[in-house]
Each structure stands twice: as structure tokens, then as C-alpha cells.
């Protein structure tokens, strides 16, 4: 069951999972990471520990939901690569 807000730590963990599987290439973030880092940076700049789900754009919220799962379903990825 989803909570009504996203915590800074959960956003950071989702971002780190995303970057572990899709690292930057030539200093360019992948699309998913780019959207998550915008949310992470906003929370950091505003010095907030939580943000309401209602304040997060639907596409970014969907990315968060995907990457917050410790084992996202990624075609061709094995569990060994994610640990």
C-alpha cells in the first residue's frame, strides 16, 4: 500500500537503483534518472524530508514506483547484477 508522501531517503534509493542499472554515458543521465534527479534535487534544495504524491508529476511518480522496488523487472537483467 502506497503512503501519501515520498521520503527523501526513498527517492534517493530509487535514484541509486536506477543509476546502478543505467549508469550515465558520457556524463549524460538516462531519461529515468534525469526525472528522478530533478525530484531529488528539488527536495534537497527546499530542504524537505517528504513530498506529497499530489505534488509529484504522474510520470515521475510512475518512475519512482518502478525504481523503488529493489528488484525492478528489466528485460535481460539478472538478479546477480542487481545485488
Q: What is the DSSP string of 4-51?
A: SEEEHHHHHHHHHHHHHHS--BTTB--HHHHHHHHHHHHHHHHT-SEE
Between 8-21 and 31-46, two packed helices, what is the crossing angle to 10 degrees?
A: 150
Does the pTM exceed 0.85?
A: no
User: Could you report the per-residue pLDDT of 15-70, keeping only the tens digit for each?
Assistant: 999 999 999 999 999 999 999 999 999 999 999 999 999 999 999 999 999 998 76
Question: Considering all CA atoms of the chain, what is the largest pairwise distance in Å, rounded to the nearest integer?
Answer: 38
What SS3 class is residue 73?
A: coil
Per the structure block, which three cell numbers stand in for 65? 514506483
Res 10 pLDDT > 80: yes
Amino acid at each position: 500500500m502506497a503512503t501519501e508522501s515520498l521520503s527523501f531517503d526513498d527517492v534517493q534509493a530509487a535514484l541509486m537503483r536506477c543509476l546502478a542499472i543505467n549508469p550515465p554515458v558520457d556524463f549524460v543521465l538516462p531519461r529515468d534518472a534525469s526525472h528522478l534527479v530533478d525530484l531529488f534535487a528539488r527536495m534537497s534544495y527546499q530542504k524537505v524530508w517528504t513530498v506529497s504524491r499530489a505534488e509529484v508529476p504522474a510520470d515521475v511518480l510512475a518512475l519512482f514506483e518502478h525504481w523503488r522496488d529493489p528488484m525492478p523487472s528489466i528485460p535481460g537483467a539478472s538478479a546477480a547484477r542487481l545485488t
